[in-house]
Structure formats: structure tokens, C-alpha cells
Amino acid sequence: MEHLLEQIAHCIEFGKVNQASPYPPEMKGQPGADEWTLTALQQGFSPEDILQHGFIRGMDRVGEKFAAHQIFVPQMLLSAKAMTTAMRHLQPFFQSGEAKKRGTFVIGTVAGDLHEIGKNLAGMMIAGNGWDVIDLGKDVKTERFAETVRQHPGCAVGLSALLTTTMENMADTVNALKREFPMLKILIGGAPVNAAFCTEIGADFYAANPQTAVQYLKEISVGWSK
């Protein structure tokens, strides 16, 4: 039985979306995360077990390999695609309240910055770990973040920047959000930022890669068993 969830984890780890997908070549013709997830539901696995022991296990391995430079963005995107596709089968259970998400995570690239590959990867990894992810896109103004946080009390926020020229906009956004929501947890990531910058601008956590963001969110999410 455990074998079935491991199949899901394996497909996510190697980016096998569904049977029709040609990637990875050595798994051609085999069922993917999509089919295995349906089978698991039909066999009576709970959505939470599928999430925890299928999706999260797979995405954890992906995150670790990415952090160790063993895989790069393309492999990670395929894994995220496999996860997102399979997640659709679990969505009805989350919507009905039968299964619970860890919480809401709001993510976006800061004002003036049009780059979103890193932000998308982080968002997908975090979604794969059982968070409701609200992706505000790129070039997101502070007010847009604030508005979204007001609508989702208790959420956490992730800010991304790729350009050295938009780091200051990130600082401004953190500043404004912290003033209005002192308890709000803010994560930052992106090529030019680091832990020292995070401390300097008063954000809560610097995520060097999506995996560390996932770990941090696990630590701060309360009331979520398993």
C-alpha cells in the first residue's frame, strides 16, 4: 500500500506528469503522478496521506537536490508541474473542508521587477507542501500585498526580487507591511538578497532556495498535525 504513495513521490521527484508525458525518457509510457494519485484516492488513501507521503515526500527530495546543485530549474519545473497536475485531484477535498491546508501563503515579485521564475518555483514548492498559495505575479506594488493580507488574516508572505535595482522596493514593502501587520511573517528570496539584507530590512526569513522556505514555513505553521 505504501508502495502506491512512493510511486507518487517518485513521479514528482523525477517530473513524470502523466502517462502521456515524454519526460523523463526512461519512464516513457508509464503512469505519472496524475494517474497514481487517482488510483490512490480510489483505493481509499486519505487526501492528507497522499499529500504528506506522496507529494511532500517527492517535493522534499526535489528541494534537497536543487539546494545541492544536483538538479536545476528545468527539472524542478517538471516536478512542480507533476505535483500541480496531481494536486487537482485533491482540490475538491480541500474545498469541502474534508482535508486541511497548512495555511495561506501570499507570494509575489516586488514592484519594478518583472522576473518570476524563482518566485514561481518557490510558490509551487510551497503549494506542494500543502499551503494555499496566492500568487500575485510580478511587479507587485505594496498596496496590493497589503490588501491581500487584509483579506487573509494569518497568512504568511513571500517577496521575491531578481534585480539589484529592486532590492530597495523590497525593503519599502517589508516596512509598510510590518507597520500595518506587526505579527505577519515575511520571507524574502532572490539572487541579490541574503540573510544580512533580510535582517537589515526587518523581514523574518531569507530563503536561499525554495526548500529552506518550505522548512521555515513548516516550523511556523501551527495546528497542522502530521
| Contacting residues toward other proteins, per CB under 8 A | 69, 71-75, 77-78, 81, 111-112, 114-118, 138-139, 141, 163-169, 171, 192, 194, 196-197, 200-201
CB neighbour class for 8 (10 Å; exposed up to 12, middle 13-18, buried from 19) = buried
Non-local (6+) Cβ contacts of 144 within 8 A are 108, 136
CB neighbour class for 164 (10 Å; exposed up to 12, middle 13-18, buried from 19) = exposed
Which grid cell sits at 105? 501563503
Q: Which is nearer to other proteins, 65 or 152 (CB)?
A: 65
* Continuous H helices in 97-141: 117-128
Cβ atoms of 91 and 116 closer than 8 Å: no
Q: Which is nearer to other proteins, 31 or 112 (CB)?
A: 112
Q: Which is nearer to other proteins, 1 or 117 (CB)?
A: 117
Q: Which is nearer to other proteins, 27 or 67 (CB)?
A: 67
| Least CB distance to other proteins at residue 23 (A) | 10
| Least CB distance to other proteins at residue 192 (A) | 5
| Least CB distance to other proteins at residue 11 (A) | 18
| Least CB distance to other proteins at residue 160 (A) | 13
